[in-house]
Structure formats: structure tokens, C-alpha cells
Amino acid sequence: MANVAVIGAQWGDEGKGKVVDWLASRADVVVRYQGGHNAGHTLVVGNETYKLSLLPSGLVRGKLGVIGNGVVIDPEALLAEIARVQAQGLSVTPDTLRIADNAVLILPMHGALDRAREAARGERKIGTTGRGIGPAYEDKVARRAIRVCDLAEPETLDAKLDELLRHHNTLLASLGAATFDKASVLARLLELAPSILQYAEPVWERLDALRKAGKRILFEGAQAVMLDVDHGTYPYVTSSNTVAATAASGAGIGPHVVGFVLGIAKAYSTRVGSGPFPSELHDDIGALLGERGHEFGTVTGRPRRCGWFDAAMVRQAVKVSGIQGLVLTKLDVLDGLKELKICTGYRIRGEVFSHLPAAAGAQAAAEPIYEVMEGWAGSSRGARSWADLPAQAVKYVRRIEELVEAPVTLVSTSPERDDTIMVRDPFQD
């Protein structure tokens, strides 16, 4: 059996949580490998709704969850999330959750700097959640970050805080923001240390042993390809690489272990925050998609911008991330629309493009080129086989396959985990 990596093929919020939850029934372990608590997955299980930001979605299925070294971890947020899901009846113990001991920590000064910078940008803000993810990744690259393993060494922690606060307090002061006192930060970290360290280990060793034992590993990505710091709509992106290749470096395994790459895309498009969105709708249809799809950010609560399916963008995601199969979610949101449009390319300053260029000015000027399709009158909601779908809905899915140059492997037709049409089991070799 193959391993599977699940990634978003648009701008995030594609319904990865439900898909990972559904696939977890076929997996032995679920691994988060990048991002921070700016990402959110909502899982609906019967009458219970779980909102996860850092915890791997497989925990809801009772599977082992691993947070890899590519994730930046806010210890306060993690412990609060653990307490919240435990109150909902989930078991989160050192037997069910492991954290990479070389993962970087998000500290209070990271969030403060994130918010101060965003305020200073004014109208040019990039839409960050202000949770410190970007500044934490900056410290990682600059080799001044505090990692999970440092919590076990008070002297190391003390020395690292000197350098960290020298950097951050200087920046905060220049932005007119409050600075941080080393003694209070150190005391709080030492207080949190036992609660975090009980989950810590070199997870690469565990994953290697699981691989050798033939266990099935599901790699769970956060955000999406078009928010990738290299391949996305820069600078309106996240601070990490979100493509499937990151599953290897962010978990501590070889690239050959990643397995089948499964991309998730909505049957339409959404985006939270600022940045280019060529197929965005500012009319009643856009509002209808948002209302029907309950389009609000899991983490931020911000309303998502809605638009037609952008096949050119998803095709780009397929190519740069090696997506081998596509999951199409929220098909039921399109029920009853008389006419559907699919963006097949862009017109930029009179020139036609089949992809979204890297330059920010060109991205902002991109106008969608649409292909128009007939909608369907029947309902696709709750469908669990092709036979349950209206004929025109099947045509829509097939046309998307052709345009993005990837087969549709799964179709999700409601938030319920079992309302899924499986064309191919991604875990099957």
C-alpha cells in the first residue's frame, strides 16, 4: 500500500480536514509537516464539529498524530487546542500525539511583531493572521529560533532568549510597539516545558520505523499551493513551502516515502485575506456561493472571497506540486445554478496567459478568460456514487479533469465524512 500526501490546490480552505479525516480510516498515522496555527481544518462527525489548527486531523479517528519539524508551534495555542478537543471527548496523550523535538516555537514577540508590521503597512497589508508564523520562520532561517528541544535545557534557553529579544525588541521599538521582558518570557517557557516535552521525540526515527513496518502514512498539508512562499501569489502568501515536496523535509523522511500526491480543490474558488483573485465574483452569485458554502475562515472567522473555479490556477498547482489525483469538494454548493463558468486562462494587458505570472503587477492585472457550461437542476448533495449525481454535474467534473490535466480521484458532496464518491483509493498502489 502507498502513502499519501494531501495538499490544497487553490488558496486554502478547500475542505482538507474532511478529506484527511475520511482517508485516516485507511491510514495508521497522520503527519502535519508545515505551517502553524494560522491554518484550520473543520471536521464534522455526527453532531460534533472539531476545529483543528495544529493537531493532525487523524486524531479524530483515533490514529497516531505527528507534528513534524516543518511546523512552527505556538505552545500556548497547542495546549489550548488539546484541552478543547479533550473536552469534546478526544484522547490526546503521548501515546496518540508526537511532536518533533527540532520543531521551532512561536513565542509572544512573534505575534506582536507580526501585528505591528501589518499595522504599519496600512492599505498595503497582506492579510496575515497576526499569529507570528512569519516571524517564527524568519528566526528559523536566521538560526536564532528556539526549538522544542531547547525547553529541556534551561541554560540554552536563557542564552537563546538574549539573542532573540535583542532582535525582536529592537524591531518592536522601531514600530512603536511594546517590548518584552526576558525574565517573564523565560519563566513562562519553563512553566510550559513539561507539558510540551512529554510529546517530544525525534519523529523521523518513528516515521522510519513505521515505514519499514509497512504502515500507511498520511501527510497532511496546511494552506495550499497558491499560498506557497515560492510558487504562490507572492507576497500574498504564507511563510512556508506548501507543495508536496515539503512533506519530506518537514517530516524528516525521504522523498520516495511521500507516495501518492492528492490535491484538494473546491468546485468553485475562495480566498481569505488580500491578494489577486482573477475569478472573484462581486455579485449575487458570489454572495450565494459564500452563503451556501458557509465561507468563513476556520481560524480567523473572516468571510472568504468567492468566485468561479479557476482551472488555470489549479493546473499550475498540479504541475508544480506533482498532484496525481484531485479531490473536488463542495460540488453541492453549485446545485441549481443555471450557468457555470470555468476560468481557463488570463488576459493581461492584452496578452493571453495559460498560467498566472510570478510578477505581482501582472497578477493584479489578470482578467479571467471563461468557458461557460450549463448548470444542473437536480441535487448532488449527499451523493455517494456517480449514479447519484445529475448528468450535467458529471460533465462539469469531467471537464475540470481535462482542463487541470489530472484525474478526479474523490468527490465530496457534503460536510459529512461519508458523503464522498471514491473513484480510486489513493492508498492503493
- DSSP 8-state class, residue 252: T
Check pLDDT > 80 for residue 115: yes
For residues 228 and 243, the answer to whether their CB atoms sit within 8 Å is: yes
- The better pLDDT of the pair 229, 16 is held by 229
Position 300 scores a pLDDT of 64
Position 198 scores a pLDDT of 98
| Mean pLDDT over the full length of the chain | 92
Active site residues: 13, 41
Position 391 scores a pLDDT of 95
Check pLDDT > 70 for residue 308: yes
C-alpha cell at 429: 498502489
Q: Where are the beta strands (DSSP E) in 272-338?
A: 305-307, 309-310, 325-329
Check pLDDT > 70 for residue 58: yes
**Residue 12: Cβ-neighbour burial (10 angstroms; 0-12, 13-18, 19+):** buried
Average pLDDT over residues 82-93: 93
pLDDT band at 425 (very low <50, low <70, confident <90, very high): confident
Q: Cα(27)–Cα(21) distance, rounded to whole angstroms?
A: 10
pLDDT band at 428 (very low <50, low <70, confident <90, very high): confident
Check pLDDT > 60 for residue 46: yes
Position 60 scores a pLDDT of 86
| 39 Rama class: left (phi>0) / alpha (psi -120 to 50) / beta | beta
Q: CATH number of the domain at 104-196, out of 1.25.40.10, 1.10.300.10, 3.40.50.300, 2.40.50.140?
A: 1.10.300.10
Residues carrying CATH 3.90.170.10, the chain: 265-422
pLDDT digits (tens, 9 = 90+) for 164-204: 999 999 999 999 999 999 999 999 999 999 999 999 999 99
Least confident of 140-154, 167-181, 406-420: 406-420
CATH 3.90.170.10, applies to 265-422: yes
Q: If you classify domain 4-102+200-260 with CATH, what class do you get?
A: alpha beta
Residues carrying CATH 1.10.300.10, the chain: 104-196
For residues 334 and 268, the answer to whether their CB atoms sit within 8 Å is: yes
Position 298 scores a pLDDT of 62
Residues carrying CATH 3.40.440.10, the chain: 4-102+200-260
Average pLDDT over residues 142-159: 96
pLDDT digits (tens, 9 = 90+) for 373-398: 999 999 999 989 999 999 999 999 99
- The better pLDDT of the pair 48, 228 is held by 228
Q: What is the dihedral of CA 320, 322, 328, 330, to 10 degrees?
A: -50
Helix (H, G, I), strand (E, B) or coil at 203: helix
Position 429 scores a pLDDT of 61
Position 1 scores a pLDDT of 54
